[in-house]
Amino acid sequence: AQKKIAVVVGSLRKDSLNRKLALAIAHLAPPDFTFEHVRIDDLPLYDQDQDGNQAPAVKRLKTEIAAADGVLFVTPEYNRAIPGVLKNAIDNASRPYGQSAWAGKPAGVVGISIGQIGTAVAQQQLRAVLAYLDMPTLGQPEVFLQNKEGLFDDKGHVAEGSKQFLQGWVDKYVAWVNDHSK
């Protein structure tokens, strides 16, 4: 059956490496998997006083996550942590209490940075958050990419040297979602 993945990119910038990584992953997935980027740049800052009156953008995000068979988080690391925009999206769609959109959705976590330890710290933090949200998250292989000149081509494909590595991850992720989605 067709599987739909909601892709959450933790960077808002136009030329985001993480956005390119998300596209490259989608290119490597089998035809019965579709990847749809969810918008997080128009969400309000999370405010618990609005739990009973969520903004249209929050409701939209929750609907998109609810409709997905799995979630893919593709995130940079900002100051050794997950970007605020990503945490804000997670918090918004986790409420009101008991009505989280995330619960039970199988997740994957990957990221790319320009730094040597390529998003490892941010990914560890994100995993702790996803565990709390009751999202079964693929443990291995891990994807901590460091950007190199020419890693992505202008069509959003990953260069030959990294293709096999990323394909291995995609194959595991696809199997993970198939095993864990209802």
Residues that bind ligand FNR (CB under 6 A): 11, 13, 16-18, 76-80, 113-115, 118
Segments in 29-135 forming alpha helices (H): 56-67, 84-93, 120-132
Give the separation between CA 142 and CA 127, rounded to whole angstroms.
Answer: 12
CB atoms within 10 A of CB 64: 19
CB of 12 to ligand FNR, least distance (A): 8
> Which residue number has the CB closest to ligand FNR?
115
Going edge to edge, which strands form the sheet with 33-37?
A: 33-37, 3-9, 70-74, 107-113, 144-146
Residue number, 17 or 58, with CB nearest to ligand FNR:
17
Residue number, 70 or 76, with CB nearest to ligand FNR:
76
CB of 134 to ligand FNR, least distance (A): 27
Residue number, 70 or 118, with CB nearest to ligand FNR:
118
